[in-house]
Amino acid sequence: GAVVSQHPSWVICKSGTSVKIECRSLDFQATTMFWYRQFPKQSLMLMATSNEGSKATYEQGVEKDKFLINHASLTLSTLTVTSAHPEDSSFYICSASSRQETQYFGPGTRLLVL
């Protein structure tokens, strides 16, 4: 149980385009989903917390207009990187939890912006 999927697993795009990443909880209802960013050899940095049916809460320094988050259902959250630039290249990981502290992570999406 507690399986989280993420799609796509990797994406290469041109600078200026937008990229959408999906995060799904496959076998449980996720009341809360989290989006992280991870640079090579570094820890996970929380970008935002997403609750179903409400606006996401962004961490300090994360631009909400650049990283659009939608949590439309209890099993799906999306992160859209708008007008992506090379500095947005990173490993994006989502996690999901269901009214408990335990977070289960998706496999991550590696984004490369050319």
Chain residues in the site for another protein (CB under 8 A): 4, 32, 34, 41-44, 46, 49, 57, 93, 97, 100-108, 110
Q: Find the shortest distance in angstroms from Cβ 22 to another protein.
A: 15
Q: Nearer to another protein by C-beta: 14 or 100?
A: 100
Q: Find the shortest distance in angstroms from Cβ 4 to another protein.
A: 8
The full DSSP string for 11-62 is EEE-TT--EEEEEEESSS--SEEEEEEE-TTS-EEEEEEEETTS--EEPTT-
Both tokens of residue 80?
Answer: 């859209």
CB 8 within 8 A of CB 109: yes
Q: Nearer to another protein by C-beta: 7 or 82?
A: 7
Q: Nearer to another protein by C-beta: 17 or 42?
A: 42
Q: Find the shortest distance in angstroms from Cβ 63 to another protein.
A: 19
Q: Find the shortest distance in angstroms from Cβ 15 to another protein.
A: 24
Residue 15 Cα distances to 2, 20, 82, 86, 113, angstroms: 35, 14, 10, 7, 6
